């Protein structure tokens, strides 16, 4: 008898859920989209895209969903179209029970601005994706310039392909080294505050321009770069803090476990 009662309770619950779902489905068929609400999740850090940009895009003739039954709105298609913006890292679009379209935008976060040998300029973000410059917003990030020559079309390429599985022939080693170096600097608070420019010299080696101190840092290649930066920081703390930050013209880290200084 007890088993029978339990079965009856579960059948009732399932039946209730089915009826409720059917009611919600019928109700949703009658709900029309009456508003689009956009949120830029990281607007305090980057300003490449504004709420009005997205609203204007969604109010274009082929994207205008105002007055459309919410059940007919393809949110995944809207997300795909929003990805056309080179500065959009991720978008999430969903419909509320009240009939609103909610759009959440996550912008790409640049960590490096490249000025190549041809005078072309663009950003590279944290994920190794190329971003064009914006006429409405300038990101104050590390700058790389000098003898930078890419093996790709800047205006067509979106990624610089630095993964370990990338075909070695197609891998642009200079750009991958620049990306790895700038990512390290960006993610380290001390070096992010201290290094403002990477210069690529004629030997395709890296020279760093600091914000504090009238010297140039000769890094050489990025081989063992983490150790080189540790040695430099130790020299800053134990050496320059005692003798002064403007005493040297050059600080070379090119050779392993050596910090070679040239006086001004």
Q: Match 């004629």 to its residue by tokens.
A: 202
Q: What is the pLDDT of residue 23?
A: 44
What whole-number distance in Å separates Cα of residue 162 and Cα of residue 179?
Answer: 9
Phi and psi torsions of 30, nearest 5°:
-95, -10
Four-CA torsion 43, 48, 50, 56, nearest 10 degrees: -150
Q: The sheet that has 35-40: what strands, in order across it?
A: 35-40, 100-107, 88-95
What pLDDT, on the 0 to 100 scale, is given for residue 91? 93
For residues 161 and 199, is the Cβ–Cβ distance under 8 A?
no
Half-sphere exposure of 78 (CA within 13 A, CB side): 25
Query: CB neighbours of 124 closer than 8 A, spacing ≥ 6?
Result: 110, 111, 112, 114, 130, 131, 160, 178, 179, 182
For residue 25, the model assigns a pLDDT of 52
User: DSSP assignment of 150-212, as one string?
Assistant: -SS-TTT--B---STTS-TTT--HHHHHHHHHHHHHHT-HHHHHHEEEEEE-TTS-EEEEESS
pLDDT at position 240 is 75
pTM across the whole model: 0.81
The full set of domains in the chain, from first to last, is 35-107 (3.10.20), 110-263 (3.40.50)
CB-CB contact of 112 with 96 (8 Å): no
> At a CB cut-off of 8 Å and minimum separation 6, what does 151 contact?
170, 172
| pLDDT tens, the chain, 264 aa long | 556 555 655 655 665 455 445 444 545 566 888 888 999 998 888 999 999 998 888 887 677 888 888 888 889 999 998 988 889 999 999 988 888 889 999 999 999 999 999 999 999 999 999 999 998 899 999 999 999 998 888 877 788 878 665 455 556 889 999 999 999 999 999 999 999 999 999 999 999 999 988 889 999 999 999 999 999 999 888 877 677 667 788 999 998 888 888 887
């Amino acid at each position: 008898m007890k088993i029978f009662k339990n079965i009856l309770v579960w059948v009732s619950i399932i039946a209730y859920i089915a009826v409720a779902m059917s009611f919600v489905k019928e109700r949703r068929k009658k709900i029309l989209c009456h508003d689009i609400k956009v949120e830029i999740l990281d607007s305090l850090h980057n300003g490449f895209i504004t709420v009005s940009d997205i609203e204007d895009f969604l109010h274009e003739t082929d994207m205008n969903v105002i007055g459309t039954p919410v059940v007919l709105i393809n949110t995944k298609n809207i997300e795909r179209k929003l990805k056309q913006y080179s500065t959009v890292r991720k978008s999430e679009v969903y419909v509320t029970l009240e009939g609103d379209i909610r759009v959440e935008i996550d912008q790409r976060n640049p960590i490096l601005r490249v000025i190549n040998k041809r005078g072309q300029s663009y950003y590279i973000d944290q994920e190794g994706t190329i971003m064009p410059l914006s006429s409405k917003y300038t990101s104050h990030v590390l700058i790389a310039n000098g003898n930078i020559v890419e093996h790709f079309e800047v205006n067509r390429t979106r990624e610089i392909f630095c993964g370990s599985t990338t075909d070695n022939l197609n891998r642009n080693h200079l750009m991958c080294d620049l990306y790895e170096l700038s990512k390290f600097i960006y993610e380290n608070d001390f070096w992010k505050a201290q290094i403002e420019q990477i210069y690529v010299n004629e030997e395709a080696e890296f020279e760093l321009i600091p914000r504090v101190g009238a010297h140039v840092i000769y890094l050489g290649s990025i081989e063992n770069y983490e150790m080189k930066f540790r040695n430099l920081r130790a020299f800053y703390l134990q050496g320059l803090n005692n003798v002064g930050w403007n005493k040297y013209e050059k600080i070379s880290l090119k050779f392993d476990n050596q910090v070679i200084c040239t006086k001004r």
